[in-house]
Amino acid sequence: MKTKLQIRKDMEMLRNKLTEEEKTRMDLSIYNKVIEHQVYKDAESIFIYVSYRKEVDTHKLIRHALNLGKTVAVPVILDQKREFVAIGISDLDKLKKNKYGILEPDLEQNNIIAAQKFDLAFIPGTAFDNNFGRVGYGAGMYDKYFSTKDIHSYKLALAYHFQVLDRVPMEEFDLRIDELITD
């Protein structure tokens, strides 16, 4: 089995090979599946990462959720701790790039939303398997954030078909998802 590091490199290479047309087509397919998903329809509060580079696009989904009046929160990275907090947003266009190039809102303490409040959480990753295993980006931030026992968010991941492997290496502390939606 490949190491997590090799899987991350392979997946980044495959995503970078996507043409804009392919990416747009696959993103739209995933978006349509999500907005028709009953868990999404029923969710009042959503935690969602803001996609960047060649990740599955979440921008359109964020706008859709905001237009429906759902509570939407996105991660803001706390560098010194290698963790993040969830900040509620009302407008995707007000987000600014952090030092990693990821869009995020200003860190305002009064907009922090506790992880226990989310009905649905979108979990990023570089690769997944059919046993709900996930390979993240290597920092462990999502593993740590969702490790608390009193968090009952439905964990949904979005991926392109080539990001689904037979099996990914999983450690005891690695976060598992509840469901995966692909193009």
More confident residue, 96 or 79: 96
Is 6 assigned to a binding site?
Answer: yes
Is 117 assigned to a binding site?
Answer: no
Is 52 assigned to a binding site?
Answer: no
Q: How many CB atoms lie within 10 A of CB 5?
A: 10
Is 36 assigned to a binding site?
Answer: no
Look at residue 8 and tell me if it is in a domain.
Answer: no
Average pLDDT (60-75) is 98
Question: According to the 3-state scheme, what is the secondary structure of the chain?
Answer: CCCHHHHHHHHHHHHHCCCHHHHHHHHHHHHHHHHHCHHHHHCCEEECCCCCCCCCCCHHHHHHHHHCCCEEEEEEEEHHHCEEEEEEECCHHHCEECCCCCEECCCCHHHECCHHHCCEEEECCCEEECCCCEECCCCCHHHHHCCCCCCCCEEEEEECHHHEECCCCCCCCCCCCCEEEEC
Is 53 assigned to a binding site?
Answer: no
For residue 80, pLDDT beyond 90: no
Q: Identify the helix (H) or strand (E) that includes residue 14.
A: helix 4-16
Is 133 assigned to a binding site?
Answer: no
Q: Give the model's pLDDT for residue 1.
A: 85
What tokens were used for 44? 């009042």
Per the structure, the complete domain to which residue 73 belongs is given by: 19-124+138-160+175-182
Number of domains in the chain: 1
Look at residue 118 and tell me if it is in a domain.
Answer: yes
Q: Give the model's pLDDT for residue 115.
A: 92
Is 14 assigned to a binding site?
Answer: no
For residue 123, pLDDT beyond 90: yes
Q: What is the pTM of this model?
A: 0.94
Q: How confident is the model at residue 78 (pLDDT cuts 50, 70, 90)?
A: confident
Look at residue 151 and tell me if it is in a domain.
Answer: yes
Is 72 assigned to a binding site?
Answer: no
For residue 155, pLDDT beyond 90: yes
Is 4 assigned to a binding site?
Answer: yes
For residue 81, pLDDT beyond 80: no
CATH number, domain of 28, equals 3.40.50.10420
Buried-state track 164-173, b at ≥16 Cβ within 10 A, e below 16: ebeebbbeee
Is 137 assigned to a binding site?
Answer: yes
pLDDT tens-digit series, residues 29-53: 999 999 999 999 999 999 999 999 9
Look at residue 129 and tell me if it is in a domain.
Answer: no
Average pLDDT (92-120) is 90
Look at residue 7 and tell me if it is in a domain.
Answer: no
For residue 105, pLDDT beyond 90: yes
Look at residue 13 and tell me if it is in a domain.
Answer: no
Is 7 assigned to a binding site?
Answer: yes
The answer to whether residues 61 and 34 touch, using CB atoms and an 8 Å cutoff, is yes
Look at residue 6 and tell me if it is in a domain.
Answer: no
What tokens were used for 124? 């990023």
Is 69 assigned to a binding site?
Answer: no
What tokens were used for 91? 């407008």
For residue 152, pLDDT beyond 80: yes
The answer to whether residues 46 and 65 touch, using CB atoms and an 8 Å cutoff, is yes
